[in-house]
Amino acid sequence: MAVLEILAIPDERLKQESRPVTVFDDELRAFIADLEETRQAGPAAVGIAAPQVDRLQRIVIVDCSTLRKPVPNHGHLILVNPEITEWDGYEMGREGCLSVPDYTGNVIRATRITLRAQDPHGNPLELAMEGFEARAVQHEIDHLDGLLFIDRVVSRRTDLFRRKVYQKGGAPS
Amino acid sequence: MTDWYMLTLIGEDRAGIVAAVTRALYARAMNLGETSMMRLGGNFTIMMMVSGAPSAAAVADAVRPVAEPLGLRAHVDAIGGGLHRHVVPNVRVRVSGADRAGIVAQVTGALAQAGFNILDLASDVAGTERQPVYIMHIEGYSDVPLEQLQAAVAPLAGEGVDVQVSAIDTLYG
């Protein structure tokens, strides 16, 4: 087990597209253990993607089960070759990133998604998720396509003013 | 004392102001830190952190040749502080109501008393000249529970001001 170095902008490697995983072996699983250790070693990140530690493969980890303010979640998720198959709704939320120190910004993401992926042994997974967890998965999958949240930030003065349409208080945003 | 100066420019808005001013600063080997430009009532306003100048007067001298022909008034202050001091907001406040004197003072007064620190504020008068509506968007930081802030602004509802306080849950991935 090892804590890996996290790449930070303006490192060009963060803009590369990652390749699908084709070999599901012990080496892959050892890497995933290191990736998880790296996620836990830093500031409170709910997710991490393999290219953030300079491994250009389609692997992400998301865990929204330990937030101070609980949200609907599927626990600790290891998603290999994840692919979003359905999107529904959109909302704005604030994001930061281990690879983008000292900056946070507002990003619009789908509210609900359905995705297909594989587990570390190559078994198929299919998941439907919403809200914060869905946002986290979209943020991490972006890394696999060489995108960072700063590529999607909207003006800090942009507000999806949805009062009286959704629940009052605008809790999800 | 730091190396930073705050340059404030105000004038009638027209295309090309930012380009002209920043080019003049760059030509004198001055650097920009954080900046914020806004149009308020059709006026151009900008505040820019400038470093690399020997004095406040040097910053003023650098912008005068472009500011004067553009009809801009410039003001320069030596400032403390510096970069990388962002505070991530955890509370958003949306305010709207029929425009009348005292809305900002009432809302921000109630929030300040409850221990809320404003990090970003923008307000606008929407509606029509006959029926102006005041809309304000605030982001800030507070250690006190959301419910306490909501209770602090609740009395304003009786005075025709709609105040919504909601959490900003920043995702790190």
CA torsion through residues B86, B91, B96, B101, sign: negative
Q: Is the pLDDT of residue A36 over 80?
A: yes
Fold identical between B5-78 and B91-167?
yes
**Are residues B173 and A43, on separate chains, in Cβ contact within 8 Å?**
no
Q: How far apart are CA A4 and CA B163, in angstroms?
A: 45
Q: Is the pLDDT of residue A172 over 60?
A: no
**A79 near A41, Cβ under 8 Å?**
no
What is the SS3 assignment for B48? strand
Closest CA to B165 of B87, B125, B110, B126: B110
Helix (H) or strand (E) holding A168: none
Q: Classify domain B91-167 at the CATH superfamily level.
A: ACT domain (3.30.70.260)
Contacts of B62 (CB under 8 A, 6+ apart): B24, B25, B27, B28, B30, B53
Does ipTM exceed 0.95?
Answer: no
Between A and B, how many CB-CB pairs are < 8 A? 73
Residue B66: the pLDDT is 97
Domain boundaries, chain B: 5-78, 91-167
* Cis, bond preceding B155 (omega within 30 deg of 0): no
Q: Which domains does chain A have, with CATH numbers?
A: 12-154 (3.90.45.10)
For B90, name the nearest residue in chain A, comparing CA atoms only: A94
B98 touching chain A per CB within 8 A? no
Q: What is the pLDDT of residues A78-108, one digit of tens each?
A: 999 999 999 999 999 999 999 999 999 999 9
Q: How far apart are CA A132 and CA B91, in angstroms?
A: 16
Q: How far apart are CA A98 and CA A100, in angstroms?
A: 6
Q: What is the pLDDT of residues A50-85, one digit of tens each?
A: 999 999 999 999 999 999 889 999 999 999 999 999
pLDDT-derived band at B2, boundaries 50, 70, 90: confident
Across the beta sheet with B31-40, the strand order is B31-40, B43-51, B5-12, B73-78
The CATH architecture assigned to B5-78 reads: 2-Layer Sandwich (3.30)
Q: Is the pLDDT of residue B139 over 80?
A: yes
